Amino acid sequence: MKTEQPNYYPSNHPPDDFAEADRAAGFEVGADFERFDQRNDMFSRAFWDDGVQSKEALAFFRSHADRPASRQADGFTQKDYALRNAAWAVADDYADRNKANGLREGFQDPQEPRYPPAEQKLKIDDPAAMTLEIKRVAHFFGAHMAGVTALDPRWLYATRTEVRSFEPKPNDLPDGLTNVIVMGHGMDYDLVNAYPSALAGAAVGMGYSGEATTVAQLSQYIRNLGYQAVGSMNDTALVIPMAIQAGLGEYGRNQMVITKDYGPRVRFSKIFTDMPLAHDQPKPFGVTEFCNVCRRCADACPPKALPFGPPEVGRANRSAIKGVKKWTADCEKCFGFWVKMKSDCAICMRVCPFNKDFRKPIMRLARRLAGTRLRRLMLWLDIKLGYGKRIAPNKWWNP
């Protein structure tokens, strides 16, 4: 593990010392790279961009609130919506805590600290040992995985979004936050297999609600030890590249971090801190090579929002980051489909051959196969054996 901290500084033009980090993570970042503006993500654009804003888009958001209009189709009944929306309740409660002050914690703004850092700072002689301990505490507070990386300012949003006006506002962080603890919350296997449906969205709600509490607890733990800690969910920075840099997984064609224990079924959150910690390294296990030959997500995507070809620089629209060579979705098509369905969609998560219950030895064997030159065989078997098929939501209710 590396313990020295690279001298990263916020800039739209990354200095040369990113080169090594990018090699390890498999990133290709061009000279035309620009930090991403949060107001360009689809969830923000739905509120300010005439090209995206619509009555239907607002209905999509509203359907997550109290009285969803039940569609009486399997997966879209009152019970399905009830479960999904209730699963979100904790994340929503945190998001609304400081609504009166124009904050949307966990989504457009980091969590407000419960208490400031203790005056007494715990002496840390061995950052590597402290890192192991922090990861153990993260698990104690409900995270399913945790990794640490240096704060790479390229992934910080260029600006945050002011949720009342949807105008940009500064993405301020305290000085000295050199490290990021990235955490993952695994999602329910059976629910994800019920995508697309309102019921399946309960897995997302549970992920976000779990994040909200783990981030609140772990960030307060760090502050109780005298260090700064800014707890963050979807706000403040792109978590995907950070999760990869922190060794939690590899980037997939479906735009997701494919993790070893939960495949693509993970919600990520992060804590920015000045606590001295050792850094994890990216840990590839064959995902890139697998995605090169597999197009199951792209094939299965109803609005054809996912790429079929190799990673590319370039973007379909302003919701994609500029200057990074990668598989990039057309988020307008993706979100457009959500709005039409009045529900989120993650078919690309469901059909991914890495979407398995890896507690089972046979599935771990399949994962190992996927990481070898026999990956095409694994893919063939995966399809042949019927993995990735939708499970009727009704089955979740009546197991």
Q: At its nearest, how many Å lie between its own copies and the CB of residue 262?
A: 17
322: phi then psi, degrees, rounded to nearest 5: -95, 135
The verdict on 216 binding its own copies (CB under 8 A) reads yes
Tokens of 292: 């090169």
Distance CA 79, CA 85 (A): 10
Q: At its nearest, how many Å lie between its own copies and the CB of residue 221?
A: 4
Q: For its own copies, what does the binding mask look like between residues 111 and 130, x meaning CB under 8 A?
A: ---xxx-xxx-x--------
Among 40, 179, 217, 328, binds its own copies (CB under 8 A): 217
The verdict on 186 binding its own copies (CB under 8 A) reads no
Size of the residue set binding its own copies (CB under 8 A): 44
> Burial letters for 16-32: b for 16+ Cβ neighbours within 10 Å, e otherwise?
eebeebbebbbbebeee
For tokens 């996912």, the residue is 306
* Of residues 186 and 249, the one with the C-beta less far from its own copies: 186
Among 193, 197, 220, 259, binds its own copies (CB under 8 A): 220
The verdict on 137 binding its own copies (CB under 8 A) reads yes
The answer to whether the beta carbons of residues 3 and 127 sit under 8 Å apart is yes
DSSP string, 1-53: -B-SPP-----SS--TTHHHHHHHHT--EEEEEEPPPGGGSHHHHHHH-TTT-
Among 5, 178, 213, 281, binds its own copies (CB under 8 A): 213
For tokens 């500064």, the residue is 170
Stretch that binds its own copies, among 16-24, 48-56, 110-118, 149-157 (CB under 8 A): 110-118
Stretch that binds its own copies, among 41-49, 201-209, 244-252, 355-363 (CB under 8 A): 201-209
The verdict on 304 binding its own copies (CB under 8 A) reads no
Specify the amino acid at residue 393: P
Question: Cβ neighbours of residue 241 under 8 Å, at least 6 residues apart?
Answer: 25, 27, 152, 154, 155
* Of residues 75 and 241, the one with the C-beta less far from its own copies: 75
* Of residues 59 and 118, the one with the C-beta less far from its own copies: 118
Stretch that binds its own copies, among 158-166, 222-230, 284-292, 347-355 (CB under 8 A): 222-230
Q: Any bridge partners for residue 232, and if so which? A: 270
The closest of 304, 64, 355 to 195, measured between CA atoms, is 355
Binding stretches for its own copies (CB under 8 A): 65-68, 70, 78-79, 81-83, 85-87, 89-90, 92-94, 97, 114-116, 118-120, 122, 133, 137, 140-141, 202, 206, 209, 213, 216-218, 220-221, 223-226, 397
